[in-house]
Structure 1
Amino acid sequence: MGKETPIYIQIHNQMRKDIEEGVWKVGERIPSERDLALQFKVSRMTLRQAVQTLVDEGILERKVGSGTYVSSKKVQESMVGIASFTDIMLSQGKKPTSKTISYHVKSASVSEAENLKLTEETLVLRMERIRYADDLPICFEVATIPFNLVEHLSKLEITRSLYKALENEKGLRVGHAEQTVSAMLASERIAEYLEIKRGEAILRLKQISYSTEGLPFEYVRSQYVGERFEFYLEKNK
């Protein structure tokens, strides 16, 4: 090993290379610190520094009472621009699917009317769905759309890809979105839907989607599994 680079960084680099080359697979537990220290012929303190650096980078994750594992790659969504869940999944090489929990037409609630700039008597389509990536539940979503925009669309078209259906049938082009993200704990109902434990950390997203003409056409409340999804910000120069 070289003299200039700290030993723990050299070990970090080798372990990262091993992970990238598939020596340890995603979700696999790595050897104990004792075994790795023997393998690299360093003290456990030095080895622990290397592992902690990989944990800090999100490459490894510690599980209390279980060990250290290669992290699963999280699905990411940029907070700049707007894209459908389907497009986000496809862009990351994942298979998107959905399970519809409820689907009905009703009068807009106070919050739905306010966010979509409607009167409370206006009819809206409200649907609840579980969204999956490669059959793993990513989020529970409640979406509200003015009914006049979708009344001639089939349930299949709407649930498969709303944005594409609106563009093809209505000529409505997606513009921008207003998004608010906060942290919360999963309720018993949401935990069951997302196959996690009650009280686990989840990300709550509220989004109002606008057409290129400035028309609010979708109000979404989503709850994402914190360990499987992350948002990232892009800053324009």
Structure 2
Amino acid sequence: MTLYSIAMSWNDTDLEESPIPRWSQIADRLRTDIESGSFKPGDVLPGEAEINKRFGVSRSTSRAALDYLETEGLIKRRSGVGSIVIEPRVERPLNQISSFSEDMRRRGLTPGYRTRSVKVVSASAAIALELQLQPGDDVVEIDRTMLADGTPLATSITYLRPQLFKKSGIPTIEELDSGSLYERLRRDDIVFAGGDERIEAAMADTMTARILNVRQPAVVLICHRTSWMPDRQPVEYVVLHYLAERYSFHVKLIKA
């Protein structure tokens, strides 16, 4: 963690007299420094008192600037520490199915996996409904953490029909740690044609916060996704918990 230094990157130009609110001008300057790399992930931004002194503004103005940067997902404010620059959010479009590995590589990040367990379990009523099975039928459960450049980004619990693995067998923990589940399924001639996804925001429970290495309270985006093949036979039902400060979703809209 690097403390802020005026000599590093602070712009000495006074705030402009313009219709743009002063808090917005301050936020713009800090955002520019973050995006240019002058402030890197882990660096601590100037605090409210320093901003007040530098620009001759009130505490409410400096607080508004920092609050806005936090809503943009650029910083995380921690009591007793300050405003810490965080890793940029990973954005995923909602109009296509792709593996976590593909998403990360498109953004220049190195995907990784930490598999906690692979086992056959009895399908609950909810899982059976998603996979078009009977409650109590066998399903393969895969519990993993998804990593980007070695940093935990999401947790994933996937349920699949055992019949999907007749060709190559159920993957081992070692196999799943070293590659994409979707790529493994494609090698077994499993083709994804579509899916349904539901997303909701929630507070991370103790276990999820520990796995994602974040302090509570922390917000996660919970995704429930069912994917199917061209004949509409379900392939998987997966529940993912994405760290909201690191992940966002993008959807294009058209007029109805």
Q: Give the corresponding residue for 1:18.
A: 33
| Aligned: 1:228 with 2:249 | no
Q: Give the corresponding residue for 2:51.
A: 36
| Aligned: 1:161 with 2:180 | yes
Change (3 A) 1:43 1:114: closer
The 5-angstrom pairing of residues 1-237 of structure 1 reads 3-4=17-18, 6=20, 8=22, 9-39=24-54, 41-45=55-59, 46-120=61-135, 122-153=137-168, 155=171, 159=176, 160-170=179-189, 172-197=190-215, 200-236=218-254
Equivalent residue of 2:39, what SS? Answer: coil
Q: Which whole-Å deviations, capped at 9, do the CAs of 1:134-166 have from their partners, x for residues lacking one?
A: 111122211111111123225259722222232
What is the root-mean-square deviation in Å for CA atoms of aligned residues? Answer: 2.7
| 2: CA distance, partners of 1:169 / 1:85 | 18
2:220–2:243 contact (8 Å) kept in structure 1:
yes
Change (3 A) 1:26 1:191: closer
Change (3 A) 1:44 1:148: same
User: What fraction of aligned residue pairs are identical, expressed as a percent?
Assistant: 27
| 1: CA distance, partners of 2:51 / 2:156 | 43
Amino acid of the structure 2 residue aligned with 1:208: T
Amino acid of the structure 2 residue aligned with 1:167: R
Equivalent residue of 1:14, what SS? Answer: helix
Equivalent residue of 2:51, what SS? Answer: helix
1:34–1:44 contact (8 Å) kept in structure 2:
no
Q: Which has the larger strand fraction?
A: 1
Equivalent residue of 1:178, what SS? Answer: strand
